[in-house]
């Protein structure tokens, strides 16, 4: 990865929900262009755009029907080029989301694939004969039901690990891989600086396509997650596209362990620059079930994030640092406080994440502490995954209140409700009816109101982003955890040869007292307070009394 990227913080935009310029209720490219000065003011170094390619929108754009065209929902190719130019003028790079595991069944390739059996496009998809009049195997879709759909007029089936309208691509086909490489080159030549690669570790499947006798919620996973030719395929596109064109890559990797991440991101392997690891996103899953609610396991959260810091540093890999995205609830609602301490908890969560080693990702609205929308009934949700979960669990006889508790807390729509810009009608998102309901807090909690506050979350984020640019320790300092099992506090160092940054955070809404670790007392002394979410935070000595969600960053020097 180009070293210059290490100074940059990435801001994720979900275009459909960011800013609508034409009043149709759907965010668009010209809406994004109108907010480039806002993003420049925040200090972001890159923008990641979720898919804006032509799509029937069965899965909100992750079902691509034309890789080369912008969907009219969002604007035109010229609008996109204007966005790239405007971003680059402000030293903001553009990262496009790209789905290489599957296409929409509306894609020209898929439509041509089944006109005749020897059509070359049939090889672009995974097609298998049925067995005894049933599906080729017992693999299940992530969205529910079989992962196989029967082809009309044939005894064959095509694979879809997600919706039946999202047909999996056959990466064993060299002609397909060439097509995908050519397409990526096309966008890079238009000015795209990087790609976020959706579910990229699913592209290689076990070619025996065996039944899965594993007792898990989604049979088949072990035969395609980190499949047999994954590393070979990634090295191939790295050689063709990523390295020659100096393209940043971040892979979304399902169920990836830190050991998997090392193989995928080690510089010598020449595959990906970094991955999105989801392990820390499961610390509030009850018995591994995302839709069953439990309190966050704070000790587990610290352990997971620390493990990734240590292991990636040891092997030369690079972490993606994130709390939220378009598939996750909003962090202030999930791990912080929606009420009295929303601002304090938003700043605390930002601090502990942005002071870690890696590239931070901010999800739209996170920079002013935007909470979950507060939807309460299934009619308010649009997400296909949430609607399928609701249907399946109702059929299993689970109580409505139990189902809705999980959906309201974990639905992807929590991150997809429209951006809350101001308190006007439409909340600055659209002059029309939004495609999904505005959040209940929009008139009070919005970007405009937060920007007016000197102690607002936005201004705090701005300081964090500036520290990444100016403080080498934030980028390169060694991570050292200073406590092991404190039930409330996370304390760590970012250590250099002569200096270190000390980060302390209370993760809860109750006061606590933290004894400074002997390892720190024996080796360091504080020279200044760099950042804190309470204005009157004092420099600690042997103890630090921490208020609700209090956090601080101190500069330290090593004792002689």
- Separation between Cα atoms, residue 196 and residue 178, nearest integer Å: 19
In the 8-state DSSP scheme, what is residue 238? I
Structure tokens at 372: 């979950």
DSSP 3-state assignment of 23?
coil
DSSP lists the bridge partners of residue 360 as: 321
Only one residue has tokens 């992962």, namely: 147
Structure tokens at 209: 């396509």
Answer for the pair 137, 220: CB distance below 8 angstroms, yes or no. yes
- Separation between Cα atoms, residue 46 and residue 191, nearest integer Å: 13
Cα-based distances in Å from 57 to 53, 102, 451: 10, 14, 34
Answer for the pair 124, 180: CB distance below 8 angstroms, yes or no. no
- Separation between Cα atoms, residue 187 and residue 64, nearest integer Å: 15
CB atoms within 10 A of CB 323: 24
Only one residue has tokens 């304090």, namely: 344
CB atoms within 10 A of CB 95: 23
Answer for the pair 169, 103: CB distance below 8 angstroms, yes or no. yes
- Separation between Cα atoms, residue 296 and residue 373, nearest integer Å: 20
DSSP string, 391-438: HHHHHTT--HHHHHHHHHHH-GGGTTSPP---SSGGGGT-SS--SSPP
Closest CA to 99 of 72, 59, 45, 140: 59
- Separation between Cα atoms, residue 141 and residue 165, nearest integer Å: 12
Only one residue has tokens 């935070």, namely: 537
Closest CA to 50 of 13, 10, 101, 99: 13
Closest CA to 109 of 180, 58, 162, 59: 180
Question: Could you tell me the sign of the dihedral formed by the alpha carbons of 310, 321, 304, 521, in that order?
Answer: positive
Catalytic residue among 165, 168, 193, 198: 198
Backbone angles phi, psi at 390, to 5 degrees: -60, -50
Backbone angles phi, psi at 107, to 5 degrees: -65, 145
Catalytic residue flag (residue 313): no
Catalytic residue flag (residue 172): no
Closest CA to 346 of 424, 488, 459, 511: 459
Catalytic residue among 28, 63, 168, 252: 252
**How far is the first Cα of the chain from the last one, in angstroms, to the nearest whole number?**
36
Only one residue has tokens 């399928």, namely: 388
- Separation between Cα atoms, residue 73 and residue 51, nearest integer Å: 11
Task: Tell me which residues are annotated as active site.
Answer: 198, 252
């Amino acid at each position: 990865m180009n070293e210059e990227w290490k100074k940059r913080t990435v801001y994720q935009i979900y275009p459909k929900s960011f800013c609508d310029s034409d009043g149709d209720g759907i965010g668009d490219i010209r809406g994004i262009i109108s907010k480039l000065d806002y993003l420049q003011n925040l200090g972001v170094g890159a923008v990641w755009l979720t898919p804006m390619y032509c799509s029937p929108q069965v899965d909100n754009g992750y079902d691509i029907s034309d890789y080369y065209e912008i969907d009219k929902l969002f604007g035109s190719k010229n609008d996109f080029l204007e966005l790239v130019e405007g971003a680059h003028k402000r030293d903001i790079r553009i990262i496009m989301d790209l789905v290489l595991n599957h296409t929409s069944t509306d894609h020209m390739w898929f439509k041509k694939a089944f006109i005749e059996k020897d059509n070359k496009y049939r090889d672009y998809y995974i097609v298998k004969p049925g067995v005894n009049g049933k599906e080729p195997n017992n693999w299940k879709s992530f969205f529910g039901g079989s992962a196989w759909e029967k082809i009309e007029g044939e005894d064959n089936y095509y694979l879809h690990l997600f919706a039946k309208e999202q047909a999996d691509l056959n990466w064993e086909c060299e002609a397909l891989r060439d097509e995908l490489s050519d397409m990526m080159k096309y966008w890079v030549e238009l000015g795209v600086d990087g790609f976020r690669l959706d579910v990229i570790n699913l592209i290689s499947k076990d070619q025996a396509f065996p039944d899965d006798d594993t007792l898990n919620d989604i049979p088949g996973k072990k035969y395609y997650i980190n499949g047999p030719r994954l590393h070979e395929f990634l090295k191939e596109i790295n050689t063709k596209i990523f390295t020659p064109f100096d393209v940043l890559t971040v892979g979304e990797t399902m169920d990836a362990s830190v050991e998997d991440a090392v193989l995928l991101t080690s510089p010598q392997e020449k595959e990906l620059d970094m991955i999105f690891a989801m392990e820390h996103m499961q610390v509030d899953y009850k018995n591994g079930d995302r839709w069953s609610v439990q309190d966050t396991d704070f000790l587990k959260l610290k352990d997971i994030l620390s493990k990734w810091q240590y292991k990636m540093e040891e092997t030369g890999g690079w972490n993606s640092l994130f709390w939220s995205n378009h598939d996750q609830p909003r962090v202030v609602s999930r791990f912080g406080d929606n009420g009295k301490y929303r601002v304090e908890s938003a700043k605390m969560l930002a601090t502990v994440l942005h002071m870690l080693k890696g590239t931070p990702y901010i999800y739209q609205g996170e920079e002013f502490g935007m909470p979950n929308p507060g939807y309460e009934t299934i009619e308010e949700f649009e997400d296909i995954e949430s609607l399928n979960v609701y249907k399946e669990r109702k059929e299993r006889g689970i109580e409505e209140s139990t189902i809705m508790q999980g959906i309201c807390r974990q639905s992807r729509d929590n991150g997809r409700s429209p951006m809350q810009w101001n308190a006007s009608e439409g909340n600055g998102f659209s002059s029309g009816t939004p495609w999904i309901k505005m959040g209940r807090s929009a008139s009070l909690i919005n970007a405009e109101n937060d920007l007016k506050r000197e102690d607002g979350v936005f201004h705090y984020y701005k300081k964090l982003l500036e520290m990444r640019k100016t403080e080498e320790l934030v980028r390169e300092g060694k991570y050292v955890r200073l406590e092991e099992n404190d039930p409330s506090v996370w304390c760590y160092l970012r250590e250099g040869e002569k200096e270190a940054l000390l980060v302390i955070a209370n993760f809860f809404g109750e006061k606590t007292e933290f004894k400074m670790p002997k390892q720190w007392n024996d080796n360091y002394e504080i020279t200044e307070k760099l950042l804190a979410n309470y204005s009157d935070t004092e420099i600690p000595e042997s103890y630090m009394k921490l208020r609700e969600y209090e956090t601080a960053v101190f500069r330290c020097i090593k004792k002689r």
